[in-house]
């Protein structure tokens, strides 16, 4: 059979609500044109994020019932700990309420002012937590990673030469750890090759710098390695994952992605002394080390989700559905980051709307138009999210790329939903010449995209 099907059947359904175009224009205005301020019930197909939005399996729901809520020493914790140890190969496992809590604990333990933390590309919460610890976050993607239209099998790779140059320039003593984000979310959900993980690890080990992997989408990354990297076609995803993490000293994880759970995360590593310090911080802000801010039932859902995400027919369907969306809009002329990523398709808003300059936020225009057209909610990953405003001069620096991310929640939408998305995106593409820009009317000093207010500089909706 050549048709790749959803490898599950539907047991519970959740209604979604159709709205009219004029209702959507009104909702958008009331939300200050900020997708994060829309009410979810006013969204038809929600592609804002693949984070925490997975449909859980019947086995995960049965795990929820089994969850043991003891304050200390819950059997649910030990099942969670064993799943993480077996899959990732790290001995120390610290549960956290989500990925950014793991980041905060890791960076506030290791980073000081004057420190530099390199990565292929830091995700925004990662960067913000490094900066909150007084250190500098540096992105070192390979050059192909910054050119949306150029296809490359491993656009998520880190530029190893630039890593070596950075170490030579600032000194290994100023680099308390190196990060590697798999897949590279900010760079288009693009995978990192095993060869690159090995090379980055080699450089780090030669200089005594610990390597931590931001593991959010580890299974999708492993499946890309299986499909695209020589020597891995016959290996199981589980074996590939073990090899990926064998080159690292630890990882941070948001279980809201490849944990197939609605909440949760963890920090894992082999260094018991470091883990001890981190558990002390955990107790201060998250909770006792056998629950870390999670309920026992969440730990069960994650332990089961981490196993299910490694099933190869799931991963085949997962990557195929993202590819299907990417290929169909691309065939209609829409410029996207090529090839499509593991969890999302990224539209190149700068190429879609060349008439809108970066400081007029072309990605912001595009997310608003997609919502008006089809009730689809995407997210801007461009100057609104990653641009910088000088607090003294008010001078704005645009982001490296102007992207719109359409993230597919895991196991949630069917192929006809994707066909509808394709239709709506192509309709916006047809009327692209009439679309203008936006400006901020309010912005917070950090992570401004969550709470920003915007004003259109043209009539939205055509
Ligand atoms: C997302 F607009 N990602 O992609 P937490 N590392 C990586 C992530 O992708 C990630 C985290 C760490 C989200 C949620 C999100 O401004 C935003 O469990 C590679 O969300 O704390 C999260 O994991 C943090 C979306 C987060 C945003 C921040 O949609």
pLDDT tens for residues 276-313? 999 999 999 999 999 999 999 999 999 999 999 999 99
Query: Residue of the nearest CA to atom 23 in ligand 1?
Result: 99
User: Fold for domain 58-308?
Assistant: 3.40.640
What per-residue confidence (pLDDT) applies to 20?
A: 97
The predicted model gives 172-181 an average pLDDT of 98
What is the per-residue pLDDT across 341-358, written as a single tens digit (0 to 9) for each? 999 999 999 999 999 999
Atom 25 (ligand 1) nearest CA? 49
Give the per-residue pLDDT at 292. Answer: 97
- Give distance in angstroms: CA of 389 to centre of ligand 1: 22
Question: Which atom of ligand 1 is nearest to 100's Cα?
Answer: 21
Number of residues assigned to the chain: 462
- Cα-to-centroid distance, 98 and ligand 1 (Å): 9
Predicted confidence at residue 196, as pLDDT, reads 98
Q: Which atom of ligand 1 is nearest to the CA of 407?
A: 29
Confidence category of residue 189, pLDDT binned at 50, 70, 90: very high
Mean pLDDT within 72-78 = 98
pLDDT confidence bin for 229, thresholds 50/70/90: very high
Asked whether the predicted pLDDT for residue 388 surpasses 90, the reply is: no
Q: Domain boundaries in the chain?
A: 21-50+311-456, 58-308
Closest atom of ligand 1 to 381 CA is: 2
Residue 391: pLDDT band with limits 50, 70, 90: confident
Give the pLDDT band of residue 447 (cuts 50, 70, 90): confident
Q: Ligand 1: which residues within 6 Å by Cβ?
A: 49, 51, 98-100, 123-126, 181, 185, 214, 216, 254, 256, 265, 379, 447
Instruction: Report the chain's mean pLDDT, rounded to a whole number.
Output: 97
Distance 27 CA to ligand 1 centre (A): 25
* pLDDT (0 to 100) of residue 133: 97
> In CATH, which of 3.40.50.2000, 1.10.10.60, 2.60.40.10, 3.90.1150.10 is domain 21-50+311-456?
3.90.1150.10
In ligand 1, which atom is closest to the CA atom of 265? 18
Tens of pLDDT along 110-160? 999 999 999 999 998 999 999 999 999 999 999 999 998 999 999 999 999
Residue 185 banded pLDDT, cuts 50, 70, 90:
very high
pLDDT tens per residue, range 308-327: 999 999 999 999 999 999 99
């Amino acid at each position: 059979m050549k048709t790749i099907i959803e490898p599950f059947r539907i047991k519970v359904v959740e209604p979604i609500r159709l709205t009219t175009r004029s209702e959507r224009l009104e909702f958008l205005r009331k939300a200050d044109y900020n997708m994060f301020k829309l009410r979810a019930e006013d969204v038809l197909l929600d592609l804002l994020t693949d984070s925490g939005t997975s449909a859980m399996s019947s086995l995960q729901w049965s795990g929820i019932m089994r969850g043991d809520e003891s304050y200390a020493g819950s059997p649910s914790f030990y099942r969670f700990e064993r799943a993480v140890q077996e899959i990732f190969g790290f001995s120390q496992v610290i549960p956290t309420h989500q990925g950014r809590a793991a980041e905060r604990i890791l960076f506030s333990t290791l980073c000081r002012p004057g420190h530099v933390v390199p990565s292929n590309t830091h995700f925004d919460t990662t960067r913000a937590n490094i900066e909150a610890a007084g250190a500098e976050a540096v992105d070192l993607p390979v050059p192909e990673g910054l050119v949306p239209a150029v296809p490359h099998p491993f656009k998520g790779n880190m530029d190893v030469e630039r890593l070596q140059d950075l170490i030579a320039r600032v000194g290994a003593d100023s680099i308390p750890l190196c990060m590697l984000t798999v897949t590279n979310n900010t760079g288009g959900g693009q995978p990192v090759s095993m060869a690159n993980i090995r090379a980055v690890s080699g450089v780090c080990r030669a200089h005594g710098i610990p390597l931590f992997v931001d593991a959010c989408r580890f299974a999708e990354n492993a499946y890309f390695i299986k499909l695209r990297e020589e020597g891995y076609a016959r290996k199981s995803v589980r074996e590939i994952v073990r090899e990926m993490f064998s080159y690292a000293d630890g990882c941070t994880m948001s279980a809201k992605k490849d944990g197939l759970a609605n909440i949760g995360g963890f920090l894992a590593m082999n260094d018991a002394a470091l883990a001890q310090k981190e558990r002390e911080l955990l107790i201060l802000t998250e909770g006792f080390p056998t629950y870390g801010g999670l309920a026992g039932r969440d730990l069960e859902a994650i332990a089961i989700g981490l196993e299910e995400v490694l099933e190869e027919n799931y991963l085949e369907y997962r990557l195929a559905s993202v590819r299907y969306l990417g290929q169909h809009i691309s065939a209609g002329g829409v410029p996207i980051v090529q090839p499509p990523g593991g969890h999302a398709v990224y539209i190149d808003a700068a190429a879609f709307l060349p008439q809108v300059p970066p400081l007029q936020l072309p990605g912001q225009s595009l997310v608003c138009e997609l919502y008006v057209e089809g009730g689809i909610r995407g997210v801007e990953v461009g100057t609104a999210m990653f641009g910088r405003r000088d607090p003294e001069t008010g001078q704005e620096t645009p982001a490296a790329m102007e992207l719109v991310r359409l993230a597919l929640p895991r196991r949630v939408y069917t192929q006809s939903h994707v066909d509808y998305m394709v239709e709506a995106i192509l309709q916006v593409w047809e009327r692209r010449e009439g679309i203008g820009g936006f400006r901020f009317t309010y912005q917070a000093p950090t992570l401004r995209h969550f709470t920003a207010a915007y004003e259109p500089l043209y009539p939205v909706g055509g």
